[in-house]
Structure 1
Amino acid sequence: MKLRSIVPSVLMATSVSAMAGDFTLTSTDIAQGKTLSSDHVYQGFGCTGGNLSPQLSWNNAPEGTKAFAVLAYDPDAPTGSGWWHWQIVNIPSDVNTLPKGIGTSENQHVLGATQYSNDYGEIGFGGACPPKGHGPHRYQFTVHALSKVLDLPENPTSAIVGYMVNGHTIDTASIEAIYEAK
């Protein structure tokens, strides 16, 4: 009896995950497993770079997508909780490209979306800046297809943004680049 009730659930999960995977993220600035250029390195905090957000484009959003969020995260930061470099939420569902350099504090409300504080304490994109000698860090740029436009508080923490984004994600697509400060 229990097996009969489990089988439909397993088949449903298999068919949904088999259909997933068409949602893709591409960039003219960053590439999977490749080193970030100095354009995408933070300016400050002991680092010298252009502090420009990379160009990102996504295709084949899943049915039911109401908005997008783009999050950039370094899981290797020696904080115990990683480091959030960029959080742009409620990108309209008809937008599928972010141009290079759009992640500035002057553009907090851009393309109908909102950029929130990164872990440098600034609105917008904050580039790579791992501690010197700490080895290579991974920078995960992920676009989330959201099931709804999110209602976030005025100054949410990175944890609240992540919680709400992940709680309403239909599918994701990512590029993981690397950077090491020497």
Structure 2
Amino acid sequence: MSMKKRRVLVSLLLSAIAALVASDGHTVMAGSTSLRVESHSLREGAGLPSTRFVDGRCGGENVSPDIFWRNTPKGTKSFALTMFDPDAGGGRGWWHWIVFGIPASVGNLPEGASRSGGMPAGVVQGTGDFGENGYQGPCPPQGDTPHHYVLTVYALDEANVALDATATGAKAAVLFRQHALATGSIVFLYGRP
């Protein structure tokens, strides 16, 4: 296969993942619309630009990336966010970040918001698979092919979902999907040689 065809195939695959995967490997609900999700820290389909966003266990600073969204549908009462690695955990995946209770008036989270106090009032961060609250960056096993990290924003029809800081990614994602008016994702890659 030529390099050009390979790049086109990879691009199509990443677009399909971003369009169809709701951060936990499940298909986005039929009828939901797309949020436009972007980041200055991350580029869709690209690798991490800096180890700043990598988990401390892998030598990074564990800084959450900036993220912003638009195309909010009418009736949105809050936003939620997840970051999921579908390539980890022997096919079960790995939850890196769970955030909910983001007010409907908010359209972004700044870089480092997870640990710097940059979250809006009332926002809750759930418990990721490292067993900690807040952002835990990528830390795939050394030598694995680069993992895909799916950062998804959900526009919800509820202001307060029935969760607290003990909520796991799997539990939260089910509830987010049930209340999603729209979703949008960024997929980026990270691997350790």
TM-score range, shorter chain: 0.7 to 0.9
In structure 2, C-alpha distance between the alignment counterparts of 1:82 and 1:129, rounded to whole Å: 13
Equivalent position amino acid for 1:118 in 2 = G
| Unaligned residue ranges in structure 1 (runs of 5+) | 1-13
Residue in structure 2 matched with residue 67 of structure 1 by the alignment: 78
1:108–1:123 CA contact under 8 A, matched in 2: no
Identical residues among aligned pairs (%): 38
Equivalent position amino acid for 1:84 in 2 = W
The runs of at least 4 consecutive aligned structure 1 residues that moved more than 6 Å come to none
Residue in structure 1 matched with residue 55 of structure 2 by the alignment: 42
1:140–1:176 CA contact under 8 A, matched in 2: yes
Higher RCO (CA 8 Å, separation ≥ 6 residues)? 2
In structure 1, C-alpha distance between the alignment counterparts of 2:88 and 2:177, rounded to whole Å: 21
Equivalent position amino acid for 1:101 in 2 = G
2:60 counterpart SS class: coil
Match of 2:64 among 50, 53, 65: 53
Equivalent position amino acid for 2:38 in 1 = T
| Unaligned residue ranges in structure 2 (runs of 5+) | 1-29
1:61–1:145 CA contact under 8 A, matched in 2: yes
Bigger Rg, which one = 1
Taking a change above 3 Å as real, the CA distance of residues 113 and 181 of structure 1, as seen in their structure-2 partners, is same
Q: How many residues are treated as equivalent by the alignment?
A: 163
RMSD of Structure 2 on Structure 1 (CA)? 2.1
Q: How does 1:16-165 map to 2 (within 5 A)?
A: 20-21=33-34, 23-36=35-48, 37-44=50-57, 47-104=58-115, 107=117, 110-149=120-159, 150-153=161-164, 155-165=166-176
TM-score (ref. length: structure 2): 0.78
